[in-house]
């Protein structure tokens, strides 16, 4: 069994100021998504599903076709691709969309858009985040080990120190888990960053935006999840309850941590926390771009990645 990689690529990145998903950052113009797909394929994934917005679907499809046509997995089979659309009107028929709403429904809603094209264990990642080879290897192994199983999912936790931006404060969800490394909750912290004393601080939104020191070795969520297909039906039920409560809210979003938290508390789900030493990086701010370009150049110089990534 080859797991599927589900890429959240519908966002526009307002702080960055452009369509990050198509920005060439590698030595040969590779995008961050290119590196994620390369690492996923080498970790045994066989299919990539993109979640995109309708207005750039055709441009995205053409880009993928030109870039990946003829790419083979390590076992010689072609790498498969599919595309699904996230739009505001893609909600259950019994609900009426508020015409004033402009904000997307969130990451868990985005994942639901792939319900009809994924029938195997799958990973979820952000399209504008670099996760590292080790993360995909760990998650790929977990997904293969859980083929046919239900009631369990996983999250890859990154050490907080390995995820900070040098160009501004960030938001991070700190993972809490029990002695068996089963997730008990994700506490969102905003304005996270190193301060003058060299320690990491952030505002814990769970406790009313209290400014606290945060352990740099704490595991945090970078939206890298592992699910089995039973996730879809359960998440769809939770989304309906979410809409019942928030249909007239213009900014409330249905996030993956919210869905998983409900599954854990109400449905007996287990979410395994997988840890990695990989260093995350991304382009949260436009000022992050030169540093990311330099990091990809360094990885190429060290032989971690070929350049170009895909040789035809």
SS (H, E, C) the chain: CCCEEEEECCCCCCCCCCCHHHCCCCCCCCCHHHHHHHHHHHCCCCEEEEEECHHHHHHHHHHHHHHHCCCECCCCCECEEEEEECCCCCCCCCCCCCCCCCCCCCHHHHHHCCCCCCCCCEEEEECCEECCHHHHHHHHHHHHHCCCCCCEEEEEEEEHHHHCCCCCCEEEEEEEECCCCEEEEEEEEEEEEECCCCCEEEEEHHHCCEEEECCCCCEEEEEEEEECCHHHHHHHHHHHHHHHHHCCCCCCCCCHHHHHHHHHHHHCCEEEEEEECCCCEECCCHHHHHHHHHHHHHHHHCCCCCCCCCCC
Residue spans per domain, the chain = 4-301
pLDDT of residue 132: 95
Architecture in CATH for domain 4-301: Alpha-Beta Complex (3.90)
Taking only the tens of pLDDT, the chain with its 312 residues reads 899 999 998 764 443 344 555 678 999 989 899 999 999 999 999 999 999 888 888 888 888 888 888 888 889 899 999 999 998 888 888 988 888 888 888 999 999 999 999 999 999 999 889 999 999 999 999 999 999 999 999 999 999 999 988 778 888 989 999 999 999 988 888 899 888 888 898 888 776 778 889 999 999 999 999 999 999 999 999 999 999 999 888 888 999 999 999 999 999 999 999 999 899 988 877 888 899 999 999 999 999 999 998 875
């Amino acid at each position: 069994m080859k797991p599927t990689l589900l890429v959240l690529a519908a966002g526009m990145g307002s702080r960055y100021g452009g369509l990050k998903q198509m920005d060439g950052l590698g030595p040969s113009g590779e995008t961050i998504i290119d590196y994620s797909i390369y690492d996923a394929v080498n970790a045994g994934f066989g299919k990539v599903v993109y979640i995109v917005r309708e207005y750039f679907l055709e441009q995205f499809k053409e880009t993928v076709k030109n870039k990946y046509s003829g790419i083979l997995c390590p076992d010689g089979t072609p790498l498969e691709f599919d595309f699904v659309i996230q739009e505001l009107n893609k909600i259950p028929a019994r609900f009426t969309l508020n015409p004033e709403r402009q904000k997307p429904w969130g990451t868990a809603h985005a994942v639901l858009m792939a319900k009809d094209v994924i029938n195997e264990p799958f990973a979820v990642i952000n399209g504008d985040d670099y996760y590292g080879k080790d993360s995909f290897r760990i998650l790929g192994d977990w997904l293969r080990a859980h083929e046919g199983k239900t009631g369990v999912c996983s999250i890859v936790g990154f050490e907080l120190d390995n995820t900070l931006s040098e160009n501004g404060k960030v938001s991070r969800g700190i993972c809490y888990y029990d002695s068996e490394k089963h997730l008990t909750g994700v506490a969102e912290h905003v304005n996270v960053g190193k301060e003058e004393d060299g320690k990491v601080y952030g505002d814990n939104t769970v406790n009313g935006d209290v400014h606290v020191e945060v352990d740099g070795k704490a595991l945090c969520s970078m939206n890298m999840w592992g699910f089995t297909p039973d996730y879809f039906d359960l998440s769809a039920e939770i989304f309906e309850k979410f809409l019942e409560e928030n249909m007239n809210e213009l900014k409330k979003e249905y996030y993956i941590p919210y869905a998983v938290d409900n599954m854990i508390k109400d449905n007996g789900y287990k979410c395994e926390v997988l840890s990695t030493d990989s260093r995350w990086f991304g382009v949260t701010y436009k000022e992050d771009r030169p540093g990311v370009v330099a990091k990809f150049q360094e990885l190429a110089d060290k032989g971690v990645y070929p350049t170009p990534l895909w040789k035809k």
